[in-house]
Structure 1
Amino acid sequence: MKLHITYDHPIPINAFEWTPSFDRQSPHMHSSLEVGLCLSGKGRFFFGSKSYAACPGDLFIVNNEERHIAQSDPHDPSRYLFINFDPALLLAEDPGLLLPFSYRSTRFRNHIAGGSPLAQELTPWIHAIAQELRDKSPGYLAMAKSALVQLCGRLLRHYSDLLNDDERQTMVQAVRQAHSLAALVERRFREPLSLAELADELGSSVPRISRAFVETTGYRFSDYVSLLRVQAAKQELLGTDKAVADIAFECGFQSLPTFYRVFKDKVGVSPVSYRQSMGTVQQADE
């Protein structure tokens, strides 16, 4: 099962607490990345065929391809603090920060033991992100993003040391290809885009660069283009009084039905409802 993640803030980061069920539920996955901190209680955390005991202070790294689920001990239920974020946030900041989440090996350990030097180093940054998003003090979006970068930078240093030279080179090459493709898309998403043309422009093949992009970001090319177009449309809906149809075409959508369908899928409501809910109503949209 693939979950659809929505974000509660203008920046694509969520922080939330969660207590797993006593019964083992069906595993799920999502395009976002996660770092989970066990705050209290006991249980187990499952990643595919891997299973880890969970105790207070333990951390868990979740990428966008591995099915996972946590389960509570019925006598001492576990409680987690999760930081959930869009990989595109790190892609724009520094593609190398995605390396800790780009694992594709059953040998990868998703678990970081509580009390270990790494857990002690990471835990304050997890709490800092959650506090910034909760308090919403002036500058909180920049502070939350900065704390996330610090968190992922420390993960990068840790996991990079565990890779052999071939693994590191392969992963770095994939991240670089993904970053090059993302940079082109970010500049030209308002235009009609063809993956074949962009791959040729970057001197790569469609299968190679498509695979690198999915493995690094969790997004298919078409989904990433749609994401950027929807983000631009949201800004236009709130910041201008343009008609919805004009916004749709200016942001790169080729038809209004496609725009409405993709927008509702990504945001959860229609463009008109989104504008109205934010206090900006355009008579021409009704």
Structure 2
Amino acid sequence: MNIIQTVDAIQNKHKPSLETGIDLVPWTLPTIPEIPHWHDTLEICYCVSGKGVFYFIDRQYDITTGDLIIVNNVERHTSKSYRGDPCSNLFLFFHASTIEQLDYNLLRPFIYNRSRFTHKIPSHLPVARQIGELMLRMQEELLAKRPAHGPLIKSMLFQISSLLLRHYHVETSDMWHRFYNKYATLRTGLSYIQSHYHEPISLDHVAKAMSLSPSRARHLFPEVIGEGFKTYLTHLRVQAAQRLLVQTDLSVEDILGQCGFQSASSFYRDFQKLVKETPLSYKKRLSSSEHPQRFT
């Protein structure tokens, strides 16, 4: 396996199964948040116990037992537990295409105008309780693996998506079709970046992949995800480097080259800016930890 294949192999992407359409992950948030990140799947977090906080680009939400957090597949986020009260959760991951094939309107809660959207659904609302119960039932079905558990879990996913659509109807109804088209276009560009971030790509390359002018592509990034192309690309490269530092024995020189950095100085500068420590101190700290790094 060459180095680029190694990078792809340790991306830690959540892989919903074909049988159920989902990946359901129990996870207790760390007390120190990792670098903000994103997934190629949609995400719902259900807080089972404890207290924590979710951070997005320009806002944060405290969560406690019964709360939900809704995350799409283009917005960077991170999270942590409060010390002394570990935040245990169920994370539900699924591809947009899974619910889109039933009714593309079910994507509305995940394709939103960030200035109007609220990621948190508090526990006192009936919809939070209903969705939490459905996620717990999913977990039971996955553990028991009774006949027809796959279609039953998919039906629960459609129920959850429908409940979210009803809850977010007002926040997602205004000019949604126009925003959906922007999202669909940008998703093509993000897929290109995910496949070519280890190369010396530019905005021109990504614009061409989206069949847009560089000027239009430059404006599309902040319109949809709230940050520019360069910021998005830098975060992706640093995130890939973090995983390689902890999960392989590759040298820093090999890692920076295979993550797309053009020089050691740019790698060290960007890494320290985002992670707040040097690559070697990060590797030492995480490699010696009893709990390996995981991005949720």
TM-score range with shorter-chain normalisation?
Answer: 0.5 to 0.7
Aligned to 1:132: 141
Alpha-carbon offset, residue 168 of structure 1: 3.2
Alpha-carbon offset, residue 50 of structure 1: 1.2
Q: Distance in 1 between matches of 2:173 and 2:22?
A: 31
The one of 45, 69, 77 aligned to 1:60:
69
What is the identity, as a one-letter code, of the residue corresponding to 1:5? H
1:34, 1:85 within 8 Å by CA — same for their partners in 2? yes
Alpha-carbon offset, residue 6 of structure 1: 2.3
Structure 2 counterparts to residues 243-262 of structure 1, below 5 A: none
1:168 is aligned to 2:183: no
Aligned to 2:131: 122
Q: Distance in 1 between matches of 2:44 and 2:130?
A: 14
Aligned to 1:159: 168
1:3, 1:29 within 8 Å by CA — same for their partners in 2? no
What is the identity, as a one-letter code, of the residue corresponding to 2:178? T
Alpha-carbon offset, residue 145 of structure 1: 0.4
C-alpha distance after superposition, 1:193-219 (max 9, x if no partner): xxxxxxxxxxxx9449x98xxx7xxxx
The one of 140, 145, 150 aligned to 2:154:
145
Aligned to 1:270: none
Matched residues, percent identical? Answer: 31
Aligned to 1:31: 40
Q: Distance in 2 between matches of 1:171 and 1:37?
A: 27
> Could you say what secondary structure the match of 2:168 adopts?
helix
2:50, 2:88 within 8 Å by CA — same for their partners in 1? yes
Change (3 A) 1:151 1:75: same
1:160, 1:168 within 8 Å by CA — same for their partners in 2? no
How many residues of Structure 1 are paired with residues of Structure 2 in the alignment?
186
Change (3 A) 1:88 1:42: same
Aligned to 1:108: 117
2:42, 2:96 within 8 Å by CA — same for their partners in 1? yes
Aligned to 1:224: none
Q: Distance in 2 between matches of 1:155 and 1:27?
A: 24
Q: Distance in 2 between matches of 1:132 and 1:55?
A: 25
> Could you say what secondary structure the match of 1:93 adopts?
coil
Q: Distance in 1 between matches of 2:51 and 2:85?
A: 6
Aligned to 1:83: 92
1:13 is aligned to 2:22: yes
C-alpha distance after superposition, 1:47-75 (max 9, x if no partner): 22210001100000010011111100111
Structure 1 gaps of 5+ residues are 182-204, 216-286
> Could you say what secondary structure the match of 1:147 adopts?
helix
What is the identity, as a one-letter code, of the residue corresponding to 1:116? L
Could you state the TM-score of these two structures normalised by the residue count of structure 2? 0.56
Change (3 A) 1:100 1:79: same
Could you state the TM-score of these two structures normalised by the residue count of structure 1? 0.58
Change (3 A) 1:207 1:156: farther
What is the identity, as a one-letter code, of the residue corresponding to 1:142? P
**C-alpha root-mean-square deviation of aligned residues, in Å?**
3.0
The one of 72, 77, 83 aligned to 1:74:
83
Aligned to 1:260: none
2:36, 2:76 within 8 Å by CA — same for their partners in 1? yes
Task: Tell me which of the two structures has the higher relative contact order, counting C-alpha pairs closer than 8 angstroms and 6 or more residues apart.
Answer: 2
Q: Distance in 2 between matches of 1:52 and 1:37?
A: 13
